[in-house]
């Protein structure tokens, strides 16, 4: 719980996802300033929320001593540069994924945050989703039994990008969740995909992760798909769970199906589905509140730099596999 919300947060990058971050920190009452190199975006957001302090140069925010933390939602290629500058200026940082585009830069940002006693948090949004948190509780309690197989589909038509491929754009959230569920690193990372619209900018990929104890996972992402789908399925030895983020009411459903052996023949025993009650909270709002709480208490965020580094290592292995194709 945040004891005293102060208006000392600035958002750098107000287009795309940035406008949602602006909305949340404004509604919480913590937003002080915004920055965007695009004057049109800047004016639109400034006028919409009545923000007095709006800059085209983010350095103006970093030099403002009254601003205690920055939220970085600029293009991915700029994350390292802006985050490092923010940390060195004495500000806590909340960074849109990915933290950086390579492991060396991410490790440097983690070390910079630690040596300067700064909070560094990455917006792996699904980690703050009530359904994902509940599913993690079910896994940890043994309700699903031994984990056997996990898969996720994150599919849509658009938004098409030219600065990053679908793997880096869509998959980080799912990688973060899966690593959080299994609490170990994959021993093998393989990826299959294709670039149809732009040379070497993959439009669709399927990432195959192999863990110890024969646990497998795959992540299917695409922005060339006829309809939107955001679904995560977890198969355990006792039960199966489906998280469907597009389902308005039944977002998390448990299927306690069993396999019975009759005369040495496996027979599926189908059970009724069980809808799991979850809190109806906006994941981004929960992430923003968590960041503010970490600023106040100086605790490590749930999705800190080290968690982001684990995700980045999987992404980099996946990209290296694609580059060999």
Q: Tell me the fold of 9-118.
A: Rossmann fold (3.40.50)
**Tens digit of each residue's pLDDT (9 = 90 or more) over 246-300:** 999 999 999 999 888 998 999 998 999 999 999 999 999 999 999 999 999 999 9
Neighbours of 301 (CB within 10 A): 23
If pLDDT is split at 50, 70 and 90, which confidence band does 201 have? very high
What residue ranges do the domains of the chain occupy? Answer: 9-118, 127-282+314-324
If pLDDT is split at 50, 70 and 90, which confidence band does 2 have? low
CA distance linking residue 66 with residue 49, whole number of Å: 20
Residues 156 and 179 sit within 8 Å (Cβ to Cβ): no
**Tens digit of each residue's pLDDT (9 = 90 or more) over 118-159:** 999 999 999 999 999 999 999 999 999 999 999 999 999 977
CA distance linking residue 277 with residue 252, whole number of Å: 8
CA distance linking residue 22 with residue 137, whole number of Å: 31
Opening angle at CA 178, ends 173 and 180, nearest 5: 95
CA distance linking residue 252 with residue 129, whole number of Å: 11
Name the DSSP letter for residue 159: -
**What is the arithmetic mean of pLDDT over 41-47?**
94
Strands across the sheet containing 274-275: 188-194, 204-210, 216-222, 147-157, 224-236, 240-244, 252-255, 274-275
**Tens digit of each residue's pLDDT (9 = 90 or more) over 156-174:** 997 788 878 999 999 999 9
**What is the arithmetic mean of pLDDT over 89-117?**
96
**What is the per-residue pLDDT for 163?**
79
**Tens digit of each residue's pLDDT (9 = 90 or more) over 223-251:** 999 999 999 999 999 999 999 999 999 99
**Tens digit of each residue's pLDDT (9 = 90 or more) over 67-85:** 999 999 998 899 999 999 9
CATH 3.40.50.980 fits 127-282+314-324, yes or no: no
Helix/strand/coil for 308? helix
Q: Which residues pair with 260 in a beta bridge?
A: 267
**What is the per-residue pLDDT for 162?**
81
């Amino acid at each position: 719980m945040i004891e005293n919300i102060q208006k000392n947060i600035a958002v750098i990058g107000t287009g795309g996802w940035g406008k949602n971050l602006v909305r949340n920190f404004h509604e919480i009452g913590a937003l002080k300033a915004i920055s965007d190199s695009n004057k049109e975006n800047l004016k639109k957001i400034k006028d919409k929320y009545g923000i007095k302090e709006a800059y085209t140069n983010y350095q103006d925010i970093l030099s403002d001593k009254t601003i205690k933390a920055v939220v970085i939602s600029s293009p991915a290629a700029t994350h390292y540069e802006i985050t490092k500058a923010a940390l060195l200026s004495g500000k806590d940082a909340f960074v849109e994924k990915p933290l950086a585009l390579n492991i060396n830069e991410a490790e440097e940002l983690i070390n910079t945050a630690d040596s300067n006693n700064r909070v560094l948090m990455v917006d792996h949004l699904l980690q703050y989703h009530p359904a994902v948190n509940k599913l993690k509780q079910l896994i940890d309690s043994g309700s699903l039994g031994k984990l056997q197989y996990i898969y996720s589909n994150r599919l849509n038509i658009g938004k098409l990008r030219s600065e990053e491929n679908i793997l880096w754009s869509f998959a980080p959230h799912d990688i973060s969740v899966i690593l959080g569920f299994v609490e170990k690193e994959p021993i093998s990372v393989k990826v299959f995909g294709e670039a149809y619209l732009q040379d070497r900018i993959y439009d669709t990929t399927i990432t195959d992760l192999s863990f110890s104890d024969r646990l497998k996972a795959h992540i299917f992402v695409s922005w060339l798909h006829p309809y939107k789908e955001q679904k995560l399925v977890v198969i355990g030895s006792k039960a199966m769970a489906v998280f469907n983020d597009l389902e308005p009411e039944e977002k998390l459903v448990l299927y306690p199906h069993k396999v019975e052996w009759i005369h040495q023949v496996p027979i599926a025993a189908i059970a009724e589905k069980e809808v799991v009650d979850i809190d109806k909270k906006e994941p981004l709002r929960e992430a923003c509140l968590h960041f503010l709480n970490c600023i106040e208490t100086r605790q490590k965020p749930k999705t800190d730099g080290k968690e982001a580094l684990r995700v980045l290592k999987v992404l980099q292995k996946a990209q290296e596999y694609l580059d060999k194709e």
